[in-house]
Structure 1
Amino acid sequence: MGAVGTQSPVVGAASQLKTTQAKRPFTKDFKSLFAMLMINLFSLRPDLQGKARYSFTSQEAIIRLQKLQFSRNASVPGSTSNTITTTTYSMSELFATQMWEWYAEARFVEQLTAGGYFTSAKSTWQLTRKGIRVLSRFVLSNGVNEEAVTELLQHERYMLPLVILERDDKTDKIFTDRTTTELIFRRFAGARPNTKDVSNKVSAASTDSNILAGIPVTVTPRSPPANSLYQFNGHACLDWILDNCMVTSEQEALAIANLFLRHGLISAEQEKEDFELGTLSGFSARTSAIYRITDRGLDSTIWELSPRQSMDTSRGTHSREAQSNSDKLLFILGDPALRLVFREFLDLRQCEENLTFYYEVKEVMETWASIKSAPEAQMETVIASVHSLYNAFLVDNAVSEVNLGSRLRKDLQASVCDLFQTPDEKATLLRATLDLFLAAQDSIFGLMASDCVPLFLQQQGNDRLYMDRSVQRGITLQAH
């Protein structure tokens, strides 16, 4: 059987995207457009082999960005029919070129060929592991099934973790409180001092370093070991943040480095006559700028030499136990620092799809609330999102399949099927389907609360972090 019908294409312009004060698209849209670009490029290049298979030129990327298309092929539950929704984003050549430069600055891509003008036809590029992470998350959340893309995502080179930064939904700014900064710094320092012999002149991007290794440091031994000096240069620091954190600009990377300074985690070790600071003051991203990890910074690491390792981590356990797991999860999801660590925990346990599904449903419901009295054309956007959610998370054997009870799964299947096959009652059926997705969201929330939260809080350091954040936010934990 052919498709039930091809929905009318959804057409948008780059100017309609929500933008930051710097006139860049919000991070979620910025990453989604990048993933769509890569899917477009790779689906058109099936003949390439070897190292060049996943490479492309600036010219190709900029041309594709000017009219970017993304098609969702949504299967209809209980039948062999499907429907296709195609979204097209258009932008001027000037803006497409600007977007491509931003993607390079964000380290989503890296140049393969030396020389040649940045946007020339001879300038050849490939994805970095950071760009692969962006593509992977988009593919998993949207049920994309492109052979070339699937093959690329299976490459072990790209499986190394990244620091996924939590952002304010309204401003897109990275959360910058002390605790979140210390968590980022802990990953910056690594599991142990990274004393590999790395030249100060070598960019961190060229070493393809493991995030767990941390920033390369030179050590001046002292006795006891906790008094040793650990030094690095400003250029390597900026490179590490750009390569290993989900920042989207050098300005954001510089802001994080400045937070390290402001919170006393690092300090300038060498004064420079020419102290060029770029757009921000305080931190110099130069090879000649030498910094050291301070005593406060050492206390924030998980290195064995850190005095923090001997501290009592059981403080406050009795009062915390009085909370229900659901209350704990609500608190974790409402706190940027805890949410960052919880997301990493789920990723390591290979069940991050639960949290992703929870937030994807939340976003669809917010979109529906803003347009439910709008014309039918806008309703199609929500319906397309519903189809995408169903195919990415709920169909049998989906890569990101979440665990729902059989009754709720069958009800969702029937409701999505009715939404396809009864166009005259689309608005009523959409409301009913969204109610079922809310029920599914509640079910996944309960699953995370009962199965994941206890294990998360049993991990070393997480229990203490939970208690510290409770105290900082002025919450008194009492027995029910």
Structure 2
Amino acid sequence: MPDPKDPSRIVTTTTTTTFSMAKDMARSICQRFLEARFIESADGRYQQVYAMKGVVWQLTPKGICILDRFCSRNGIQQKQVAELVGSSLPQLVTLERDGQTDKLLTDRGTIEVIFRRFIGTNGFNIKSSVSSADSDSLSDYRDGLTGVKMAAERKINGKTYKDTFTGKAASDWLLDCSTTVDKRETYEIASLFVKYELMEAVQQDRAYMMQHPASTLFQPTKHAIYQVTAKGRDLANGTSTRGRASESEGLSSSRGGGIARDSNTQRLDKILNDPALRLLFRENLRETHCEENLSFYLDVDEFVRQCRQAIRVAQKNPNNAASLDGIKEIMAQAYGIYNAFLAPGSPCELNIDHQLRNNLATRMTKAVGQDVAMIDTLHEVTALFEDAQNAVFKLMASDSVPKFLRSPKYEQTLKNYDFDAVASSNNSQGRGPERSQSRSNRN
């Protein structure tokens, strides 16, 4: 951060935290890494249980992608990490999650986006034999774009079915090619594929259903066989014409602060309030090397929500130690956002106004020693963060949204969203979305 006494000088403070861990806990965490497909056996064999001895482990392409994202966000610049990442990373489907519960957002639009990737960006991943389609090879989905493994033909009860895949293959693809962290999340997504009639069971695993009564829609085993439905094929081919409106609320994306509303701000409002569009928009921003804009925007939204809640609690219970600890925690979160996105030389430094950056640096480098003063500081920091958020919103609306809407990669998906109708509807009513608030009301 800038030195308070000499802003031209940068001062770096490093905190080192050490902790101990019991062997059983360490083994348990490594098992979670294995289940999330962050690590794999280096000999290419499929392993379900983490072994302490006799096996050499390595990061999967998914694990490398997660590590790279973490390092970029936290300013970790190590030679060995860069060498590990190399020149290319898999195209993981970065799933949207609820900011408070961390649960996956599974609205229908998001499920359809995942399904398009699930069956293959460049067409079906057809294997010539059933054995190759059902193999446990760890190298099938290294690019993140190859679809789930399908058997060209499979005989079931005397009848031949084309382009089928197992429940296990479906679960494996969702673990390898998206940011799911355990099998239960893959079961949830695959069940929704069936519920929305994008894929259907050719053969169910009755034995598994007896042991797991809730698994009537999807069974994640080799004995459960599925195929893509006609509706699923239409979706993949871009011939599905189901109209869609924004299905998710919760982000304070409607900008106050005197920002003039035009068609692109209306379109960005729609993108920010729809999990499926946010997922695709984030992908596009990553490809154009400006994903930090969206990350900052969403982080500030969550920070403002938590900040106001903590201040209300502290003001109701001014002498309560727990409520004051909450204020300190929020202040630490503010420094985290500042150091990640706003400090000079930060790893994801935003392109914002020079004066606003100086105001932030001045505010963030002031020492705060009293709890009452800390609340006042949070009010000031929140206002500055929202100013920066407004600036980022303008930038995304004017630059990133047009590029996103023109991208051939997302053309098929975006056909289901009538952005022009949304913009013209809001403009004809003479107002923005209902949650638009003035700066004074928000503070």
Give the TM-score of the pair, scaled to structure 2: 0.74
Q: Structure 1 stretches of 5 or more lacking a match?
A: 5-75, 221-227, 314-321
| Residue aligning to 1:45 | none
Q: Which residue of 2 aligns with 1:162?
A: 92
DSSP-derived class of the 1:195 partner: strand
Cα distance in 2 between the residues matched to 1:380 and 1:273: 54
Q: Which SS does the other structure have where 1:166 is aligned?
A: coil
Partner of 2:256: none
Cα separation, 2, equivalents of 1:87 and 1:190: 43
The answer on 1:467 being equivalent to 2:400 is no
* CA–CA separation in structure 2 for the residues paired with 1:383 and 1:161: 35
Confirm whether residue 241 of structure 1 aligns to residue 174 of structure 2: yes
Q: Name the residue aligned to 1:180.
A: 110
Corresponding residue for residue 250 of structure 1? 183
**TM-superposed deviation, 1:188:** 0.4
Aligned position for 2:120: 190
- What's the CA shift for 1:184? 0.9
1:380 deviates by: 4.1
Please name the residue that 1:225 is paired with. none
- Per the TM alignment, residue 271 of structure 1 is displaced from its structure 2 partner at its CA by 5.3
Which one-letter code corresponds to 2:126 in the other structure? T
Q: CA deviation at 1:181?
A: 1.5
Indicate whether 1:340 and 2:279 are aligned: yes
Q: Could you tell me which residue of structure 1 aligns to residue 267 of structure 2?
A: 328
Aligned to 2:74: 142
Deviation for aligned residue 1:478: 5.8
* Residues in 2 aligned to 1:359 and 1:260: alpha-carbon distance in whole angstroms: 28
Q: Is the 8 A contact 1:323 1:477 kept in 2?
A: no
The correspondence for 1:209, drawn from 142, 158, 161, is: 142
Shift of the alpha carbon at 1:378? 4.5
Q: Which residue in 2 is equivalent to 1:50? A: none
Structure 2 CA distance for aligned equivalents of residues 164 and 364 of structure 1: 21
Contact conserved, 2:39 with 2:59, CA < 8 A, in 1? yes
Normalised TM-score (structure 1): 0.68
Aligned to 1:20: none
Where do 1:40-119 residues align within 5 Å? 78-86=8-16, 95-112=25-42, 118-119=50-51
User: Number of residues paired by the alignment?
Assistant: 380
Are 1:387 and 2:335 an aligned pair?
yes
| Bigger Cα displacement from structure 2, 432-441 vs 268-277 | 268-277
Kindly provide the CA deviation profile for residues 150-197 of structure 1, in whole angstroms up to 9, marking residues without a partner as x: 4434x235x111111122334333222322211111010112222355
Q: Is the 8 A contact 1:165 1:247 kept in 2?
A: yes
Task: Tell me how far 1:95 sits from its aligned partner.
Answer: 5.0
Deviations 1:106-149 (A, max 9, x none): 11222336689734244432222222233233223332344444
CA distance in 2, matches of 1:388, 1:470: 39
**Cα distance in structure 2, aligned partners of 1:278 and 1:456:** 46
Q: CA RMSD in A?
A: 3.6
Q: 1:352 aligns with which of 291, 297, 301?
A: 291
Which of the residues 346, 350, 356 maps onto 1:402?
A: 350
Measure, in 2, the Cα distance between the counterparts of 1:272 and 1:144. Answer: 46
Q: Distance in 1 between matches of 2:127 and 2:365?
A: 57
Q: CA deviation at 1:440?
A: 0.7
Q: CA deviation at 1:273?
A: 6.4
**Cα–Cα, structure 1 residues 210 and 398, in superposed 2: closer, same or farther, change >3 Å?**
same
Match of 1:453 in 2: 401
Distance change >3 Å, CA 412–CA 271, structure 1 → 2: closer
SS at match of 1:466: coil
Distance in 1, matches of 2:242 and 2:208, equals 42
When residues 405 and 110 of structure 1 are mapped into structure 2, their CA distance, relative to the original with a 3 A threshold, is same
* d(CA) in 1 for partners of 2:12, 2:427: 53
Question: Any conservation in 1 of the 2:197–2:229 contact (CA below 8 Å)?
Answer: yes
Counterpart contact for 1:141–1:356, Cα < 8 Å: no
1:156 aligned counterpart, secondary structure: coil
3-state secondary structure, aligned to 1:461: helix
8 Å Cα contact 1:111-1:126 kept in structure 2: yes
- Letter paired with 2:269: L
Partners in 2 of 1:231 and 1:328 — Cα distance? 39
- CA spacing shift, 1:437–1:86, aligned 2, 3 Å: farther
CA distance in structure 1 between the aligned counterparts of 2:48 and 2:168, rounded to whole angstroms: 24
1:132 corresponds to which letter in structure 2?
Answer: I
Which residue identity lines up with residue 228 of structure 2 in the other structure?
A: I
